[in-house]
Amino acid sequence: MIISGGFNVYPVEIENLINGIDEVMVSTVIGTPHEKWGEQITAVIELKPGKTIEPEKIKVLCKETLGSIKAPKEVIFWDKIPLSSVGKVLKREVRETFWKDQDRQV
């Protein structure tokens, strides 16, 4: 669960929407550090080979479908999202890249 500005946001709902986009291979949604809100919603996405999509299109789709509170404030594309041997996203490894230099850990 991500707590952003006092709102509880469940990443799986956002991930399900993003993973349904044709260009997306896999995504994960995490809370990343934000000075004012505590955490901000960030989508980390691996695209299918040869595909592209504008980050703004993903933000707009999420905002229109799920509302502005659940829409990612940042969309980041990675070449490869770490997966376990059974194909599950290693969310802790993704999250660690954003929180490793923070004094406060949420």
Under 8 Å between Cβ of 67 and 102:
no
The mean per-residue pLDDT over the stretch 40-53 comes to 98
Mean pLDDT of 8-37: 96
> Which domains can be identified in the chain, with CATH numbers?
2-99 (3.30.300.30)
- pLDDT of 61 over the 70 cut: yes
Q: Which pLDDT band holds residue 106 (cuts at 50, 70, 90)? A: low
Mean pLDDT value of segment 92-100:
93
Mean pLDDT of the chain: 94
Mean pLDDT computed over 21-48 = 95
Nearest to 75 by CA among 91, 58, 61, 62: 58
Whether residue 94 has pLDDT greater than 70: yes
Q: Which secondary structure element, helix H or strand E, spans residue 41, and what is its range?
A: strand 38-47
